[in-house]
Chains A and B, each alone.
Chain A
């Protein structure tokens, strides 16, 4: 409106002043404060100038000539020049990222002034997808960040930022929750999060030194705002079901296949039972979440309370999970100079876990076995003379009844996480601030697991309930295992921030501080007792000594870890467009030997806001161009340790009856063992085009971890056979990231956006020092076969590489599977040479990940879609590869397998041998999935009481396109690239969820 008035005034005065003269004026923001550094361009007069520190300017121009005023963070404005001193008010850009602030660790920075690669995600992005852990919700939303999640309740997604740089070390990014360093955010209610910042490049990360190599995620929770009390309710409820199922053979096809395999007629071709084991162990899952928060602010106090409850009945029978969270964040302005922030959170999780191997057993168990026999006993795999499953007969496979497995599995886990902190900000001077922050985290966990040993034995061995089969008297009736686990971590940091602008153009910010982080000793107590009372109320009686029934007792205290640090950062901005950041951190870690525990991690970043240059002033359609780049060095201190220990138990009789104790040291230690070091050089370009409607960025990086720790074997003559960690490897990650987003507002009622990001990363083990590695043979299938390897031959391959035989089709004459030897011959598995014929056949790591997003807001409706995909990864169909004789097969195999009458079948003939790990079971992990579709409607309200009410429907993971024939190509497994990650074995399937919810604000 004011702009219009100005324009109008200018128009009236226009004729009087047509000749060139000095035009004076002042550029102001909406509060009337002068804006320094704004650019004034008089296009006709070919002159330009900047405003001074107070926002004043003088420019040679003609009265009435159009002046273009621009400033980063504000909407550009064109006004005619006037003879009278002009007063030009700029409107801050509404949704441009330019004025956004990013959190950079021990401070904040305007995004435009930041020289590093940081992805900043706001509350809406995180709480939109209705999942438990915020990291799962950000999948596909940040370029360069790969999230491998699982829908198993309470599971922790793997987050890999710009590629995997370690094989044995910790892979988890460092999470900083309101200043507290932590490894897991399962206790953080996503509704409490206000921002989720991902620090990606070394120049951003170096301020976190020796814990930064896997990236840092800074989570900030909400604070009170506004001037009145605001109450918000958020509730949703949803149903969950597997996104994709694998079709198994039915009873008759199973019988046909198994008879062919055994070359017998063991199984009748007309089965009375056809059990769908997957259906038998699963149910429709449901989950709900309810949150209430109270927040507000007065002159001196900001407050925020929230209470949340999450409940899930998982699709696996009996698996329930619930979490209750409470948070209180308060800010007290004690005096003009002193501000105190306090935060506290309580998180309690309860769950009744169930073994995921039930999924594998359901896959493998024969459909001819009933869930229960007619006598009420659980079905077992006995086949009688009639060719049907029965309570007696011969056992035809070693698979348990998965329904019985779940029913008998009785475990409960409870955990409590308390986090809290105090932060004191003191403005010593206008330009100098002192900050002191203390945070603590207490965690306590307990569980019990009750095994009804005798009943299980009877169920497995005596389904016919014969009196002749008697449980061995010397065995336990039952077994109760109880565990307790706890720790306390704390963190203290003190730092000074100095910020001043010199001579109008030199903007300096200095940060210097010290910090200590203590990861307290983990205490773990495990007691296993036999023959406890069947009634769980009487498991822990007062005054009873259980010594006679204790079968196992462990009382462990794991080593404490302390870090002491100094850090400093220098940020310099010249003329608002030339940016420099220098960072240094010096960390000492108690994990390492005295002479090797201190390390220095420097970094620098450079930035150039090109659009602030005069020569760009007239560039049409370009609102922002910023070039940035940097270099830095990071550490990963979470590596296998080199604690040398005495080991005992080497007892020996020296002739008589006295057993003498022996002690030795059975490990060799590399005293120079220290953190893994990652160096990264990166560059990026940020741009905003076409009136800020098209925004994007492009990043490239080259990251090398130079001293990757792997286990090496000492020389044989050292007499130490245990391998020990040493710095021997080098891993490279090179990649690029593109992010683009188009936002437009067509009318006041209709706006839309469409965006996407694409990341490509090339991971490679580039070198190994001359050392005898203890090979990592990973991806164990539990049947004597393993699928992954890292040893001296792995140089040039990506981490997480599969290593196995290459399938060569089957022999049409006998249906036997064939494999290529090293020389290219096709042989059966018995003729393979384990040392020569295996090959590297791809990795679990994808080359590319991508995300797409689009959305429309029309009147009170909002609609958005988010998708995510990966390509280039391999996955191993572990459950299928584990299949053994007498177990079920997939329908596609049962309908077209080799027999003497069907030699041109697409699948090999039946076999009764454990198949070797081969590419027959290796499949493409490429997929594209719609992660979320949201449709919301804001009910128009006029009431004083209820301010806002939005109802919404979400579809989570509604669609997927995948090449993998199993349940889900997204396989986090145990999160270890050399464990079950990328292998579908005992894996929880990805779920499709439909959610309905409402958000109310009072």
Chain B
């Protein structure tokens, strides 16, 4: 009898051990388990991972105050603005080029872009597993993710130089992945990586015209070519600039420059890629973008940062329609009838961040034009000029000038045309977050900052400092940029 009991007991223990591993698999109920990929195994589910990437561009740390500080206030186009005593945490340092490795604005942009890249890597890892989603859709979504990843690596490389290339989702316990996350690659390697992503994107992305009206904000083939051309421009690969600009088709410059910065001009014929904000409920706008740059003081509606500099005002030729479309002058009436009284604290504000319908909203309908056809024409002009096709370049330049209400350029020589194109870029694309990087790219920085009354240290200020927190984490695997 006792043997029976013991065997039953032993048997039950054995049975218990056999099934206990499954027994211990408890379903997650308080949050959606990442193991439960089946939940997203359909068209809509696949798309959500890419939407999350686009959504990152609306974040405060990605496209708003820090980005304004780094790409605009630091340039000669803009001053800190606001009240003299309000530093905007570090915008005074950005303006004076006295930032360091611990300055929040420079640190945030680094972290935010990697956050976006992480979302790209998630999409690139998860979407191929969603076999019940339409294969064509999946291919397009992967193309969008690659375009967006290239977008962010381009931001990183032009801001910080060579950075770590995170090409897959890192495993926290992998030594190889640890090294990957902490080791800077050369800027050439980063540019090569961006090109490879863009080429993959070009292969699968549709043209903008093929997207439904409600999906115009998605990355298109034209956007990928335009970005590729810009990468070529930064690498002075002139022929490729021309080739890729030629492949950006189906776009045209619109006749009214000012219209592009109003609600009606969003995703217009000139627009190639924009960051999309919507102010109506439920609002999904670029967090604080309009408000931080809105007029400050009595009669104003915002914090008053990033004010157009005198240097920029001076850069406009007489009669240039772009001046009054770019700059709000105190004491004037805006296109929607709003009067900006002289009681506001600063003489000028950024018009391109102004939302008529949601003026003081935290999230507004303002879009940021990231790539538009006018820039494609200017890039092509610059490249043609470098390729000794100056007359062709002048034609393109004049196209831009005509739209701005200006006469043809007086520049004739290759050198003068080059300068004229650079200057045209400045006024055409003012407050579109291009100027600082353009100055560095073209080597005009030292001179331009001198005019603006600031000291640009050659050999240092071409790049922003990497976050000290990253250098600390890297523990010797990466070194800081020179001068910081």
Which residues of A does B touch, CB under 8 Å? 426, 428-429, 432, 434, 494, 496, 514, 516, 521, 556-562, 564, 566, 588-590, 594, 597, 643-648, 650-665, 668-672, 714-721, 724, 770, 772
Q: A494-B12, A560-B29, A663-B48 are in contact. Are A655 and B216 (CB under 8 A)?
A: yes
Q: Contact check, A655 vs B214: say whether CB atoms are below 8 A apart.
A: yes
Number of A-B contacts (CB under 8 A): 201
Q: Contact check, B26 vs A716: say whether CB atoms are below 8 A apart.
A: no
Q: Contact check, B13 vs A566: say whether CB atoms are below 8 A apart.
A: yes
Q: Contact check, A588 vs B172: say whether CB atoms are below 8 A apart.
A: no
Q: How far is the CA of A806 from the CA of B58 in the complex (A)?
A: 43
CB-defined contacts of A588 to chain B, threshold 8 Å: 20-21, 24
Partner of B181, one of A653, A658, A715: A715
CB-defined contacts of B284 to chain A, threshold 8 Å: 651-653, 659
Q: How far is the CA of A770 from the CA of B17 in the complex (A)?
A: 37
Q: Is B115 an interface residue (CB 8 A)?
A: yes
Which of A556, A662, A669, A714 has the largest count of B CB atoms less than 10 A from its CB? A662
Q: A651-B282, A714-B172 are in contact. Are A656 and B213 (CB under 8 A)?
A: yes
Q: Contact check, A645 vs B33: say whether CB atoms are below 8 A apart.
A: yes
CB distance from A641 to the nearest CB of B (A): 9
Count how many chain B residues have C-beta atoms less than 8 Å from C-beta atoms of the other chain: 79
- 25 A-B pairs (CB sep. < 8 Å): A434-B9, A514-B12, A558-B30, A562-B24, A590-B24, A644-B34, A646-B31, A646-B32, A646-B36, A652-B51, A653-B276, A654-B54, A655-B215, A655-B267, A660-B48, A663-B40, A670-B172, A671-B172, A714-B172, A715-B470, A716-B467, A716-B470, A717-B164, A717-B470, A719-B116
By DSSP majority rule, is chain B's interface helix, strand, loop, or mixed? helix
Closest Cβ neighbor of B34 among chain A residues: A644
Q: How far is the CA of A651 from the CA of B1 in the complex (A)?
A: 68
Q: How far is the CA of A564 from the CA of B52 in the complex (A)?
A: 39
Q: How far is the CA of A648 from the CA of B49 in the complex (A)?
A: 9
Partner of B119, one of A557, A719, A772: A719
CB distance from B286 to the nearest CB of A (A): 11
Q: A663-B52, A717-B164, A718-B114 are in contact. Are A654 and B276 (CB under 8 A)?
A: yes
Partner of B282, one of A557, A656, A659: A659
CB distance from B260 to the nearest CB of A (A): 15
Partner of A662, one of B1, B52, B166, B470: B52
Q: Contact check, A671 vs B173: say whether CB atoms are below 8 A apart.
A: yes
Q: A559-B28, A719-B116 are in contact. Are A658 and B470 (CB under 8 A)?
A: no
Q: Contact check, A665 vs B26: say whether CB atoms are below 8 A apart.
A: no
Q: A557-B29, A669-B172 are in contact. Are A662 and B51 (CB under 8 A)?
A: yes
Ordered nearest first, which 9 A-B pairs have the shortest CB separation?
Answer: A656-B214, A719-B118, A645-B31, A662-B52, A655-B217, A655-B216, A662-B51, A650-B55, A654-B217
Partner of B9, one of A494, A559, A658, A772: A494
Partner of A717, one of B26, B45, B166: B166
Q: Is B76 an interface residue (CB 8 A)?
A: no
Q: Contact check, A661 vs B5: say whether CB atoms are below 8 A apart.
A: no
CB-defined contacts of B119 to chain A, threshold 8 Å: 664, 719
CB-defined contacts of B122 to chain A, threshold 8 Å: 664-665
Partner of A428, one of B5, B178, B212: B5
CB distance from A637 to the nearest CB of B (A): 12
CB distance from B246 to the nearest CB of A (A): 26
Partner of A557, one of B30, B56, B276: B30
CB distance from A644 to the nearest CB of B (A): 4
Interface string of B422-452 (1 = CB under 8 A from A): 0000000000000000000000000000000
CB-defined contacts of A652 to chain B, threshold 8 Å: 51, 54-55, 58, 217, 276, 284
Q: Contact check, A717 vs B181: say whether CB atoms are below 8 A apart.
A: yes
CB-defined contacts of B470 to chain A, threshold 8 Å: 715-717
Interface string of B35-52 (1 = CB under 8 A from A): 010011000110111011
Q: Is B469 an interface residue (CB 8 A)?
A: yes
Q: Is B23 an interface residue (CB 8 A)?
A: yes
CB-defined contacts of A660 to chain B, threshold 8 Å: 47-48, 51, 54
Q: How far is the CA of A559 from the CA of B28 in the complex (A)?
A: 6
CB-defined contacts of B54 to chain A, threshold 8 Å: 652, 654, 660, 662
Which of A560, A564, A656 has the largest count of B CB atoms less than 10 A from its CB? A656
CB-defined contacts of A659 to chain B, threshold 8 Å: 278, 282, 284
Q: Is B150 an interface residue (CB 8 A)?
A: no
Q: Is B336 an interface residue (CB 8 A)?
A: no
CB distance from B55 to the nearest CB of A (A): 4
Q: How far is the CA of A653 from the CA of B214 in the complex (A)?
A: 8
Q: A432-B2, A558-B29, A656-B212 are in contact. Are A720 and B118 (CB under 8 A)?
A: yes
CB-defined contacts of A664 to chain B, threshold 8 Å: 49, 52, 118-119, 122
A-facing residues in B149-180 (Cβ within 8 Å)? 163-164, 166, 170-173, 178
Interface string of B383-396 (1 = CB under 8 A from A): 00000000000000
Q: Is B210 an interface residue (CB 8 A)?
A: no
Q: How far is the CA of A566 from the CA of B10 in the complex (A)?
A: 12
Q: Is B111 an interface residue (CB 8 A)?
A: yes
CB distance from B369 to the nearest CB of A (A): 13
Q: A494-B9, A654-B276, A662-B52 are in contact. Are A514 and B214 (CB under 8 A)?
A: no
Q: How far is the CA of A372 from the CA of B221 in the complex (A)?
A: 73
CB distance from B8 to the nearest CB of A (A): 9
CB distance from B216 to the nearest CB of A (A): 4
Q: How far is the CA of A514 from the CA of B216 in the complex (A)?
A: 62
Q: Contact check, B20 vs A564: say whether CB atoms are below 8 A apart.
A: yes
Closest Cβ neighbor of A672 among chain B residues: B173
Closest Cβ neighbor of A556 among chain B residues: B30
A-facing residues in B214-238 (Cβ within 8 Å)? 214-218
Q: Is B93 an interface residue (CB 8 A)?
A: no
CB-defined contacts of A597 to chain B, threshold 8 Å: 24
A-facing residues in B196-216 (Cβ within 8 Å)? 211-216
CB-defined contacts of B23 to chain A, threshold 8 Å: 516, 562, 564
Q: Contact check, B31 vs A650: say whether CB atoms are below 8 A apart.
A: no
Q: Contact check, B117 vs A719: say whether CB atoms are below 8 A apart.
A: yes
Q: Contact check, A718 vs B9: say whether CB atoms are below 8 A apart.
A: no
CB-defined contacts of B110 to chain A, threshold 8 Å: 716
Q: Contact check, B26 vs A564: say whether CB atoms are below 8 A apart.
A: no
Closest Cβ neighbor of B50 among chain A residues: A662
Q: A562-B24, A652-B55 are in contact. Are A716 and B276 (CB under 8 A)?
A: no
CB-defined contacts of A662 to chain B, threshold 8 Å: 48-49, 51-55
Closest Cβ neighbor of B59 among chain A residues: A650
Q: Contact check, A559 vs B213: say whether CB atoms are below 8 A apart.
A: no
CB-defined contacts of A644 to chain B, threshold 8 Å: 33-34
Q: Contact check, B5 vs A657: say whether CB atoms are below 8 A apart.
A: no
Which of B24, B27, B212 has the largest count of A CB atoms less than 10 A from its CB? B24
CB-defined contacts of B259 to chain A, threshold 8 Å: none
Q: How far is the CA of A432 from the CA of B1 in the complex (A)?
A: 12
Q: Is B87 an interface residue (CB 8 A)?
A: no
Q: Contact check, A434 vs B5: say whether CB atoms are below 8 A apart.
A: yes
CB-defined contacts of A657 to chain B, threshold 8 Å: 214
Q: A645-B33, A646-B32 are in contact. Are A719 and B20 (CB under 8 A)?
A: no
Q: Contact check, B40 vs A656: say whether CB atoms are below 8 A apart.
A: no
Closest Cβ neighbor of B26 among chain A residues: A590
Q: Contact check, B473 vs A650: say whether CB atoms are below 8 A apart.
A: no
Q: Contact check, B32 vs A654: say whether CB atoms are below 8 A apart.
A: no
Q: Is B404 an interface residue (CB 8 A)?
A: no
Q: Contact check, B473 vs A721: say whether CB atoms are below 8 A apart.
A: no
CB-defined contacts of B170 to chain A, threshold 8 Å: 715, 718
Q: How far is the CA of A594 from the CA of B475 in the complex (A)?
A: 32
Q: How far is the CA of A670 from the CA of B177 in the complex (A)?
A: 13
Q: How far is the CA of A822 from the CA of B212 in the complex (A)?
A: 63
CB distance from B295 to the nearest CB of A (A): 26
Q: Contact check, B111 vs A721: say whether CB atoms are below 8 A apart.
A: yes
Which of A670, A716, A770 has the largest count of B CB atoms less than 10 A from its CB? A716
Q: Is B484 an interface residue (CB 8 A)?
A: no
Q: How far is the CA of A195 from the CA of B110 in the complex (A)?
A: 61
Q: How far is the CA of A653 from the CA of B58 in the complex (A)?
A: 10
Partner of B17, one of A428, A558, A566: A566
A-facing residues in B269-299 (Cβ within 8 Å)? 276-278, 282, 284
